[in-house]
Amino acid sequence: MDDNGEYLRVKLPDKKKNELFGIADQLLGGSRLTVLCEDGKKRLGRIRGKMKKRRWIKTGDLLIIQPWSFDDDKADVMWRYTWTQANYLKEKGLLPKEVDLF
**What pLDDT shows up at residue 82?**
93
* pTM given for the model: 0.86
Domain parsing of the chain, residue ranges: 15-82
Element at 85 (helix H, strand E): helix 83-92
**What pLDDT shows up at residue 4?**
65
Neighbour tally for 15: CB within 10 Å: 8
* Nearest Cα residue to 67 out of 101, 30, 22, 5: 22
Per-residue pLDDT of the chain (102 residues; tens, 9 = 90+): 566 666 777 899 999 999 999 999 999 988 999 999 999 999 999 998 878 777 789 999 999 999 999 999 999 999 999 999 999 999 988 998 888 776
End-to-end Cα distance, the chain: 23
**What pLDDT shows up at residue 55?**
79
User: Does 15-82 carry CATH code 2.40.50.140?
Assistant: yes
**What pLDDT shows up at residue 100?**
79
Q: Give every CB contact of residue 32 below 8 A, 6+ residues apart in sequence.
A: 44, 45, 46, 47
Query: Helix or strand or coil: residue 23?
Result: strand
Please answer whether residues 1 and 16 qualify as being in contact, where contact means their C-beta atoms are separated by less than 8 angstroms: no
